[in-house]
Amino acid sequence: MKRKTLNIARNAGVVMGLVMLLGLGSCDSNKIYDENIAITDNVWLSDDIKTFEFDVTDTMSAVNIFVNLRTTTDYQYSNIYVFLYSEYPNGTTNKDTLEFLLAKPDGEWYGENTGTVVEFKGLIASGGRFSTAGKYQFQIQHAMREKELLEVIDVGMRVEIKED
Q: List the one residue out of 126, 117, 129 whose CA is nearest residue 153.
A: 117
Q: List the one residue out of 77, 86, 102, 5 whose CA is nearest residue 51.
A: 86
Q: How far apart are the first and last CA of the chain?
A: 52
Per-chain mean pLDDT for the chain: 88
Q: CA 118, CA 113: separation in Å to the nearest integer?
A: 4
Domains of the chain listed by start with CATH number? 30-161 (2.60.120.380)
Confidence of residue 164 (pLDDT cuts 50, 70, 90): confident
Q: List the one residue out of 87, 84, 111, 108 whose CA is nearest residue 95.
A: 84
Q: Are 70 and 117 in contact (CB under 8 A)?
A: yes
The pLDDT of residue 16 is above 60: no
Q: What is the pLDDT of residues 94-143, one digit of tens each?
A: 999 999 999 999 999 999 999 999 999 999 999 999 999 999 999 999 99
